[in-house]
């Protein structure tokens, strides 16, 4: 993978590609064709995703209209009530939400949403952006079905500047209205394989979808370029002892839906996957390289030792990562995510500023070199040394992340 090839991929995919959209399908077909050009055939594997078309959304404070976007999948409805700004979501704060329209500093998370509905909140306002940024963008957000559990109230999103204005104005009453048509669309994973000498596999994942405001170069076409770079580097070494299965995941940004769909559809085959290596955001000019290991701590230590030998800086931890490694770990497959995390002052995601200008072709090539070497170490081992036992501490964090158990303080 050279600089020219990397820049061409970034230029060719310089568009928004949200879950279930025609643009996401276009990106999937593009990645499939790139695999083919590398001599590795790939297929598209579709799965269903919930979506909606917002017909109308409105927010007013004491009669003054405020630009907003309705949450997809929050249903259709309206509410008028006093405003309640909740900077905290502890039980005492949430108790204040009864009969109010609540302004949150965070997005809508499962436990906060359920607590607010139990408390009798009439509607929810969230915000994004930055009061210091010149834009007035508003992200199109979704009330994910596993968060709402079928319980729906009107939810809208606004820009941070207007959120500050609301708090300053302290209006006596606000009103929200959302009208939408909900439906089911189709997303897809792109799957390519380089068979090995055995029937066991190393699964490599990266998502290619973006959020509604973002062209998703850093998050996460960079990870897809990483997969393609590993494919190119190792195809000439095949067959390795373990096969390499490359999974470009759709719909990660709306709840890891691509990797969840893959692990559900291929449950019987997961026992033949020795390890999942996930890439989510690499190749920035600045930023620290990290590894989040959802497996035994010996893998974390191995990575630390390997990096020390190479003089390759890394921050490794045993944890659960908010990316496509998590559904694999939850199904008992040892998994880890690699990323290069830039400081917020250098690279941001989920907004208009995530473009190819954030990425260094030289750093991408360097990151790919390390990742290809690590993959080779695992895939050509006489026996992949990583235990298939997921530690209890990781299982607890999986239960918390996947909302089966409430984390203390949330």
Residue extents of the structural domains in the chain: 3-50+186-401, 63-172
CA dihedral in degrees (262, 263, 267, 268; nearest 10)? 70
Mean pLDDT of the chain: 97
Architecture of 3-50+186-401 per CATH? Answer: 3-Layer(aba) Sandwich (3.40)
pLDDT at 410: 80
pLDDT at 409: 78
pLDDT at 335: 98
Rounded-to-integer distance, Cα 190 and Cα 336, Å: 20
Contacts made by residues 10-14, CB under 8 angstroms, sequence distance 24+ = 10/217, 10/221, 10/225, 10/356, 10/359, 11/356, 13/208, 13/215, 13/216, 13/217, 13/221, 14/215, 14/217, 14/355, 14/356
- 341 neighbors 286 (Cβ within 8 angstroms): no
Rounded-to-integer distance, Cα 31 and Cα 23, Å: 12
Residue of 77, 79, 70, 249 whose CA lies nearest to 142: 70
Residue of 278, 343, 290 whose CA lies nearest to 317: 290
Coil/strand/helix, residue 77: strand
pLDDT tens digit sequence for 261-293: 999 999 999 999 999 999 999 999 999 999 999
- 185 neighbors 18 (Cβ within 8 angstroms): no
Rounded-to-integer distance, Cα 229 and Cα 231, Å: 5
pLDDT at 334: 98
> Which positions of the chain have pLDDT values less than 70?
none
Rounded-to-integer distance, Cα 298 and Cα 291, Å: 13
Strand order in the sheet with 101-104: 69-70, 155-159, 123-128, 101-104, 83-86
Say yes or no: do domains 3-50+186-401 and 63-172 share a fold: no
- From the options 3.20.20.70, 3.40.640.10, 3.50.30.30, 1.10.110.30, give the CATH code of 63-172: 3.50.30.30
């Amino acid at each position: 993978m050279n600089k020219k090839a990397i820049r061409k991929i970034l230029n060719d995919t310089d568009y928004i590609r949200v879950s279930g959209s025609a643009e996401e399908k276009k990106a999937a077909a593009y990645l499939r064709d790139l695999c083919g050009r590398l001599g590795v055939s790939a297929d598209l594997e579709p799965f269903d995703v919930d979506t909606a078309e917002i017909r109308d959304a409105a927010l007013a404070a004491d009669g003054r209209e405020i630009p907003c976007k309705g949450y997809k999948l929050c249903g259709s409805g309206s509410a008028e009530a006093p405003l309640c700004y909740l900077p905290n979501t502890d039980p005492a704060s949430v108790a204040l939400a009864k009969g109010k329209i609540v302004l949150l500093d965070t997005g809508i998370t499962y436990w906060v949403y359920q607590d607010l509905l139990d408390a009798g909140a009439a509607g929810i306002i969230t915000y994004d952006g930055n009061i210091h940024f010149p834009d007035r963008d508003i992200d199109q957000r979704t009330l994910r079905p596993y968060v709402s559990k079928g319980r729906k109230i009107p939810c809208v999103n606004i820009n941070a500047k207007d959120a500050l204005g609301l708090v300053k104005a302290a209006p006596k009453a606000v009103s929200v209205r959302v009208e939408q048509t909900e439906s089911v669309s189709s997303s897809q994973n792109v799957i390519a394989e380089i068979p090995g000498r055995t029937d066991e596999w190393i699964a490599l994942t990266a998502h290619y979808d973006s959020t509604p405001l973002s062209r998703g170069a850093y998050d996460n076409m960079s990870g897809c370029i990483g997969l393609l770079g590993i494919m190119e580097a190792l195809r000439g070494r095949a067959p390795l002892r373990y096969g390499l299965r490359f999974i470009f995941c759709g719909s990660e940004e709306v709840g890891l839906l691509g990797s969840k769909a893959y692990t559900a559809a291929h449950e019987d085959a997961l026992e033949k996957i020795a390890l999942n290596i996930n890439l989510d955001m690499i190749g920035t000019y600045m930023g620290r390289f990290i590894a989040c290991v959802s497996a035994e701590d010996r893998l974390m230590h191995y990575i630390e030792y390997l990096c020390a030998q190479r003089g390759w800086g890394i921050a490794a931890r045993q944890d659960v990562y908010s990316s496509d490694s998590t559904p694999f770990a939850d199904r008992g497959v040892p998994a880890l995510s690699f990323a290069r995390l830039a400081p917020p002052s250098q690279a941001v995601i989920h907004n208009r500023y995530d473009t190819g200008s954030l990425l260094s072709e030289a750093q991408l090539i360097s990151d790919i070199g390390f990742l290809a070497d690590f993959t080779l170490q695992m895939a050509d081992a006489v026996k992949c040394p990583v235990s298939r036992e997921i530690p209890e501490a990781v299982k607890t964090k999986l239960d918390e992340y996947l909302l089966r158990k409430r984390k203390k303080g949330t």
